[in-house]
Amino acid sequence: MPASQSRARARDRNNVLNRAEFLSLNQPPKGAPEPRSSGRKAPGPSAQPPSPGDGARERRQSQQLPEEDCMQLNPSFKGIAFNSLLAIDICMSKRLGVCAGRAASWASARSMVKLIGITGHGIPWIGGTILCLVKSSTLAGQEVLMNLLLALLLDIMTVAGVQKLIKRRGPFETNPSLLDYLTMDVYAFPAGHASRAAMVSKFFLSHLVLAVPLRVLLVLWAFCVGLSRVMIGRHHITDVISGFVIGYFQFRLVELVWMSSNTCQMLISAWTVLRNGTMTDNARTRR
């Protein structure tokens, strides 16, 4: 038996789990009940030595520990970078939220900042585009307005879908307004006002002949709309930047599927016939 005991001791010395840095892995999980015994029993002749299968089973059980008891010795660089950028984003967004509440440093300017944000809202833009489309009498104007209406509807559906998928909250506990609920702009990521402002400004810069001062003012307006959403505490900085990027790609998509003048006229004629038919049915019902 001395030969077998010496082999067992050598095997224990060569076992990696017996090193000092891995001693925590051999400890039982937290909250595990400790076995209770009235006293230590002296080994008698009936005691059987542990079989090799039992030792292997114990080693497997010691290796299958909960994740909370293990230490990640080599964390991922991507995970560290992402968490660091996320912390910086939250910190900077809270610092820029100077109009987020009544006790904020710029609380008196909250109404004016919210008004700037409303200029990038979807409801005023869709309503104004439809009104201009009804009043327009030129084919070129109707073509531009129909494609702008398509871009606005695409923006609302894209932002609402991404927000429902991500469900990120803003840096402050602020309640969305009624207009936000109408356009399904409830969550923070991405910023719908920023994407709409970027898309509309790029659309006007490409399809309208504007003087240089007006072009500069248009770009500044888009930037101020995005900044206003951070100042009132509705969005993070990354939400606004992502909104600008999404708005640009929406403009590129509308340019790829641009509706021609004939297509726009066909859609306008169909809408006119439908509206006249509805008005006729209503008149007959009243009679």
State CA 267 to chain mean position distance.
Answer: 35
CA distances from 286 to 111, 148, 207, 219 (A): 45, 37, 45, 51
Q: H helices of the chain, where? A: 2-14, 52-63, 77-96, 110-118, 122-135, 139-166, 178-182, 192-207, 212-231, 237-256, 261-286
State CA 211 to chain mean position distance.
Answer: 37
CA distances from 31 to 17, 22, 69, 248 (A): 22, 20, 11, 54
CA distances from 155 to 111, 182, 187, 233, 245 (A): 26, 14, 15, 22, 12
**CA distance linking residue 267 with residue 265, whole number of Å:** 5
Q: How far apart are the first and last CA of the chain?
A: 113
Instruction: Write out the catalytic residue numbers.
Output: 193, 235
**CA distance linking residue 194 with residue 63, whole number of Å:** 51
What does the radius of gyration of the chain's CA atoms come to, in whole angstroms?
33
